[in-house]
Amino acid sequence: MRRRRSIKILATLGPGTSEEARIAELFEAGADVFRINMSHTPHDLLRTLHGRIRAVEERFARPIGILVDLQGPKLRVGEFADGKVDLEEGATFVLDASSKPGDVSRVHLPHPPVFKAAEAGHRILLDDGRIRLRIEHASAKRLECTVEIGGKLSDRKGISLPDTLLPFGAMTDKDRADLDAAVNLGVDWIALSFVQRPDDLAEARKMTRGRAYVMAKIEKPSAVERLDEIIEMADGLMVARGDLGVEMPLEAVPGAQKRITRACRHAGRPVVIATQMLESMISAPVPTRAEVSDVATAVFEGADAIMLSAESAVGEYPIEAVATMNRIAEKVETDPVFANVIHAQRTDPEPTGPDAISAAARTVAETLKLPAIVCYTSSGATGLRAARERPDRPIIALSPNMATARRLALVWGVHCVETEDARDETDMVDRACRIAYQEGFARPGQRIIVTAGVPFGTPGATNMLRIAFVGSDKLGEG
């Protein structure tokens, strides 16, 4: 099954889309990777969903990526004696270490590290930013605040501290157990929540031991400030616009999205744009015009993937949401402006042999208008380099490792095929031509460009570029 677009689509699975038949429908509608949210998924359901996705993968004979999204630390206030209070603007409100039920003047904050890190002048956001406090005095067990934006506050509502670098890592005991279960199953990507600094990725990388790629979710201002360092440590990034929009001014989020996308493209790291892309389709069969423009903007920016959350997990129109996103992406990528924007944002290749080969392959393919670029990639690095170039020709990534093919299912413009590694140069050319034909990219009489590494089977050794003729004598089975 060949997609008619380069950007990829992630669909979150949920109660309405957890059956194998529905997963197959989502895939046929355009989903390339499936997200499993561990905030709502016990391990037995994780195993079930994994098995169903792999069954769909076998049915369609196409590599499908699986992304497991870890919950991360959840900061919440305690409980109130009456279940809720109404905070008035200008009033004093205290967060303290006492476990007694709260009232209109105070509430329990069951997170001791917050008291150590918070300082006078820092903001505290409650209930997804609906209520805003400003810390006036901070001590080891008490934060005395002024209510800047009031409202109703009920038990166990979430708390965010956008100005505070919290002194704990991104993973909880639950996250460690979830990560261990996920990588033992063989999922392809682990998305890490609550990333504040590059060091937050170290534990996840140590636990995965290369068995899955690690994606940093950028949802805090402190992560944006240290973006380049985090990109260096991560295998990919997700622009988690929902949480970013709580912790920084809403008007600052679009600029942050563009900055993150361009930084990832420059570094050759996959980047996913997430949250509320087609939010109205949770309950409506068509999106708003603004949502269509939002999705189109991510496509124009050259993001690797766009993601559906509640739209496909609990929405009334999950298949329609994926199909709508697919149509938007296809239309944008055929717009004459698209090629100009992608070209204008292209960055120079790194001064390495493999990067130079990938850049040369793009130039030759575009100059000669070849139907495809075929790259042999064992570890996935060559596929990532080819995608970094954002060519206007399709990329066919041939890999002997199914795990690599599945991970690359998230990457811009890459059509993944599992196949044996080439035995020699003749086999390299014949196999590339045959697969390009069988997958519907090239016809007899056309030429393709092929990149590989010699000696064959050596990861990261891309050093060869060939223009190959697709002749009818090379299109047999085998």
Which residues are catalytically annotated?
A: 35, 76, 217, 275
**Per residue in 436-448, is it b (16+ CB within 10 Å) or e — as a string?**
bbebebbeeebbb
State the number of CA atoms in the 13 A half-sphere of 13 facing the CB: 30
Q: Where are the alpha helices (DSSP H) in 198-305?
A: 202-208, 221-225, 227-233, 241-247, 253-267, 289-300
The tokens describing 262, both together, are: 């361009």
**Token pair of 365, please?**
């393919």
Report how far residue 21's alpha carbon sits from residue 23's, in angstroms, rounded to the nearest whole number.
5
Q: Where does residue 279 rank: exposed (0-12), middle (13-18), buried (19+ CB within 10 A)?
A: buried
- Provide the strand spans (E) within 140-285: 142-149, 151-154, 159-160, 189-192, 213-218, 236-240, 271-274
Identity of the residue numbered 95: L
- Distance CA(173)–CA(408), nearest Å, equals 29
Non-local (6+) Cβ contacts of 168 within 8 A are 73, 113
Give the β-pairing of 131-139 and 123-126.
Answer: antiparallel
With 0-12 CB in 10 A as exposed, 13-18 as middle and 19+ as buried, what is 103? exposed
Locate the DSSP E strands across 70-200.
Answer: 84-87, 92-96, 106-108, 123-126, 131-139, 142-149, 151-154, 159-160, 189-192
Sorted by sequence, the CB contacts under 8 Å of residue 42 that are 6+ apart come out as: none
User: Helical H runs in 250-317?
Assistant: 253-267, 289-300, 310-313
Place of tokens 């709508």: 324
Do 159 and 130 meet the contact criterion of CB atoms below 8 Å apart? no
What's the rounded Cα separation, in Å, for the pair 383 and 408? 7
Taken as a whole, the chain contains a residue count of 478
R_g of the chain, CA atoms, integer Å: 24
Sequential DSSP letters for 310-357: HHHHT-S-HHHHHHHHHHHHHHHHTSHHHHHHHHHT--PPPSSHHHHH
